[in-house]
Amino acid sequence: MGMDPRLSRGKGRHYRQERAVAGNLGLFPRIRCGRTSRWQTNPPQSAVYSPQYSSQTRQTMDSPFKTIALIGKPHHEGANQTLTGLHQYLTTRGFRVLVESRVAHALGIMDENVMDLVQLGQQADLAIVVGGDGNMLGAARVLSRFDVAVIGVNRGNLGFLTDLSPQDYLLPLEQVLCGHYKSEHRFLLEAAVYRHGERKSNNLAVNEAVLHPGKIAHMIEFEVYIDGSFMYSQRSDGIIVATPTGSTAYSLSAGGAILTPKLNAITLVPMFPHTLSSRPIVLDADSEVRLLVSPDNQDDAMQVSCDGQVTLAVHPGDEILIKKSSHKLHLVHPLDYSYFHVLRNKLGWGSKLF
């Protein structure tokens, strides 16, 4: 739990009610935050949220977060709509709001608060990512270096990492801003490519690092070592090394197991192996995975893909080291968040029988 101790108030405090007016918006139960309580409203998907708060309300917000970054899905109408509403809402509440440069132009924002992801990570206490899991992954690889708390509004498809619905995000977000939230840290992987003992490239992965051929339907040969011990050789389309976060992504599609987020484990999933006895294996996350690419491979365009977004070039004879990174993704969730509810909802699992 991430409960800020400053939010503990004694009985007998006087709380004031205040309506937030934004056209024809539905009313939500009020929640207490700092010294005020207010009726909460939430915009429908088609509305642009424009709340009206008094200057007194602005100054009485007691939040563990003071500087909030807005990150979004560029050139996406729905995401821009949500970002516009969030920007108006947060600035009216008195927060310092930073905006990612890629979406700032679409929002008509051109001031000193427009920054790239690195600058956002250096200055923000909380980042709100509006988009799909892909947008969350791209932001997380950068923000994890700064331990910025991150929460997402889903404007994508499945949305395993983006908790908040664009139709009713305001009430749970208000709770988070008041310090009422669940907090968790998820580890990342670091993948590095070595050639003749020299590191040629490296990057981070939130979901998975994947060794794969550069040509479609071409097999590659490589050996797998765990903590220096030889495990097996492979002739396959590649191999997936996934975190618990990534176990519900590419790894799941390839037949890998689902790992709950708190497990200190990774899974190795062969991709269409030539040996039918090759099966996924779950390892201690502190293990070092070393992949030795055979020099006899004819494919000189092999790659290591990090989260399907960043690629590292691999040549025959190269060595790939994959291990747990020291950086972690700091996710915050509403208090009613349940990982198993997410799985059941996203994967279409059966509901309770009785």
Q: Is 321 or 74 the better-scoring residue by pLDDT?
A: 321
- The whole model's pTM is what? 0.83
- Distance, CA of 354 to CA of 340 (rounded, Å): 18
> Does residue 21 register a pLDDT over 70?
no
Q: Give the burial class of 198: count Cβ atoms within 10 A of its Cβ; 0-12 exposed, 13-18 middle, 19 or more buried.
A: exposed
Quote the pLDDT of residue 44: 40
Catalytic site residue from 62, 111, 116, 133: 133
Q: Is 4 or 227 the better-scoring residue by pLDDT?
A: 227
Question: Is there a binding annotation on residue 275?
Answer: no
Quote the pLDDT of residue 272: 94
Question: Is there a binding annotation on residue 250?
Answer: yes
Which tens digit of pLDDT belongs to each residue from 240-288? 999 999 999 999 999 999 999 999 999 999 999 988 899 999 999 999 9
Q: Is the Cα dihedral 113, 114, 119, 121 positive or negative?
A: positive
- Distance, CA of 278 to CA of 254 (rounded, Å): 13
Average pLDDT over residues 210-230: 96
Is 133 tagged catalytic?
A: yes
5-181+334-347 is classed in which CATH architecture?
Answer: 3-Layer(aba) Sandwich (3.40)
Which tens digit of pLDDT belongs to each residue from 66-85? 999 999 988 899 999 999 99
> Does residue 32 register a pLDDT over 80?
no
User: Where residue 12 falls among pLDDT bands split at 50, 70, 90?
Assistant: very low
Task: Report percent pLDDT > 70 for the chain.
Answer: 83
User: Where residue 216 falls among pLDDT bands split at 50, 70, 90?
Assistant: confident
Quote the pLDDT of residue 183: 96
User: Where residue 33 falls among pLDDT bands split at 50, 70, 90?
Assistant: low
Question: Is there a binding annotation on residue 311?
Answer: no
Quote the pLDDT of residue 34: 56
Question: Is there a binding annotation on residue 163?
Answer: no
Quote the pLDDT of residue 196: 97
Domains 5-181+334-347 and 188-326 share a fold: no
* CA angle, residues 332, 337, 343, in degrees to nearest 5: 110
Quote the pLDDT of residue 90: 95
> Does residue 159 register a pLDDT over 90?
no
Quote the pLDDT of residue 156: 84
Question: Is there a binding annotation on residue 15?
Answer: no
Say which residues have a Cβ less than 8 Å from residue 84's Cβ, sequence separation at least 6.
48, 49, 107
Question: Is there a binding annotation on residue 133?
Answer: yes
Average pLDDT over residues 110-127: 95
Question: Is there a binding annotation on residue 233?
Answer: no
User: Where residue 4 falls among pLDDT bands split at 50, 70, 90?
Assistant: very low
Which of helix, strand or coil describes residue 46?
A: coil
Average pLDDT over residues 183-197: 98
Quote the pLDDT of residue 51: 43
Closest CA to 91 of 50, 121, 122: 50
Quote the pLDDT of residue 290: 99
Which tens digit of pLDDT belongs to each residue from 297-306? 998 899 999 9
- Distance, CA of 233 to CA of 112 (rounded, Å): 54
Quote the pLDDT of residue 61: 57
Domain limits of the chain? 5-181+334-347, 188-326
> Does residue 58 register a pLDDT over 80?
no
Q: Is 253 or 44 the better-scoring residue by pLDDT?
A: 253
> Does residue 219 register a pLDDT over 90?
yes
Task: Report percent pLDDT > 90 for the chain.
Answer: 73
> Does residue 11 register a pLDDT over 50?
no
188-326 is classed in which CATH architecture?
Answer: Sandwich (2.60)
- Distance, CA of 90 to CA of 98 (rounded, Å): 10
